[in-house]
């Protein structure tokens, strides 16, 4: 997933979501507990948000399952100030922290045979155990069809040294995205084909799962002023004292 051509295209042409979400996330973190300064950035991609967290004075740890994304994150000047880990966010042991963020739908990628809600339930328990009281857990996901239209779509985007073409099939309880990407990498036109299996969620059930894990959660159609696309929600969960 997110092989080198798509990693290049995403980093070059699809950064608007992360940039739009960041101010709301930084504002909420600044209003929360101050110690320890550690914040995890799950599904950090090429690390734009991780670097912004580090620049804001946090001990930022970016985690991504894509080797190509982590390579890009590490290669950016200043990237060394943030720690980047190549791993699945479901396998990482969190240390005590004030924030855990997952911007750009990283929590939606699950193969069809996997119980996505069960996987998130485990993640929520681990996040609750690591966050100090008042700590922030925020992420965005896609919600089920009754909460918006079907998401079947085809699209093409061309930009600085890349071309991406995708078809999304809305299968009701999940989406399947077929993505063909070409990109100039080290002077060579390189192509990749990927299929992304994406789970869609029931917002009240997510809030209830978070409540059971020890969070008080609210759901929004945007990160404050930054509105999300149709059938997307941002979840802001605060760790309650246990
Ligand atoms: C749409 S990109 C968003 C990247 C970045 N957060 C942003 O907003 O630009 C989704 C990212 O989630 C990562 N991802 C998906 N499943 C993951 C997992 N289980 N563990 C870690 N990263 C994951 C992908 O590799 C990809 O980099």
pTM above 0.75? yes
User: Do the beta carbons of residue 230 and residue 224 sit within 8 Å?
Assistant: no
pLDDT at 80: 61
For the stretch 140-164, pLDDT in tens is 999 987 667 899 999 999 999 999 9
103 Cα–ligand 1 center, Å: 8
In this structure, the residue with its CA closest to atom 23 of ligand 1 is 43
pLDDT at 40: 98
Report the CATH number of the 147-197 domain.
Answer: 2.20.25.110
First to last CA, the chain: 37
pLDDT at 149: 87
The pair of structure tokens assigned to 217 is 């959660």
In this structure, the residue with its CA closest to atom 18 of ligand 1 is 88
66 Cα–ligand 1 center, Å: 8
CATH architecture group of domain 4-144+200-239: 3-Layer(aba) Sandwich (3.40)
Measured from the Cα of 1, ligand 1's closest atom is 25
Q: Which H or E run contains 159?
A: strand 153-159
Q: Which of 110, 161, 229 is nearest to 6 (CA)?
A: 161
- Residues of each domain in the chain carrying CATH 2.20.25.110: 147-197
Paired strand residues for 97: 131
Q: What is the DSSP string of 75-109?
A: HSTTGGGSEEEES-TTS--PPSEEEEEE-SSGGGB
Measured from the Cα of 102, ligand 1's closest atom is 6
- Residues of each domain in the chain carrying CATH 3.40.50.150: 4-144+200-239
Segments in the chain below pLDDT 70: 78-82, 146-147
């Amino acid at each position: 997933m997110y092989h080198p051509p798509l990693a290049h295209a995403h980093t070059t042409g699809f950064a608007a979501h992360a940039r739009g979400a960041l101010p709301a996330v930084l504002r909420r973190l600044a209003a929360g507990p101050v110690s320890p300064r550690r914040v995890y950035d799950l599904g950090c991609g090429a690390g734009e948000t991780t670097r912004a967290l580090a620049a804001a004075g946090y001990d930022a740890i970016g985690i991504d399952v894509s080797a190509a994304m982590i390579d890009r994150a590490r290669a950016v000047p200043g990237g060394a100030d943030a720690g980047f880990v190549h791993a699945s966010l479901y396998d990482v042991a969190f240390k005590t922290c004030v924030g855990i963020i997952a911007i750009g739908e990283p929590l939606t990628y699950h193969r069809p045979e996997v119980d996505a809600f069960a996987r998130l339930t485990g993640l929520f328990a681990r996040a609750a155990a690591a966050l100090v009281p008042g700590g922030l857990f925020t992420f965005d996901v896609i919600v089920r069809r009754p909460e918006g239209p079907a998401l079947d779509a085809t699209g093409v985007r061309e930009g600085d040294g890349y071309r991406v073409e995708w078809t999304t099939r809305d299968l009701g309880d999940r989406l399947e995205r077929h993505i063909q990407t070409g990109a100039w990498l080290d002077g060579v036109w390189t192509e990749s084909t990927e299929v992304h299996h994406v789970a869609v969620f029931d917002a009240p059930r997510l809030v209830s799962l978070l409540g059971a894990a020890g969070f008080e959660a609210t759901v929004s159609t945007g990160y404050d002023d930054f509105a999300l696309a149709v059938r997307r929600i941002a979840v802001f969960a605060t760790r309650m004292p246990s």
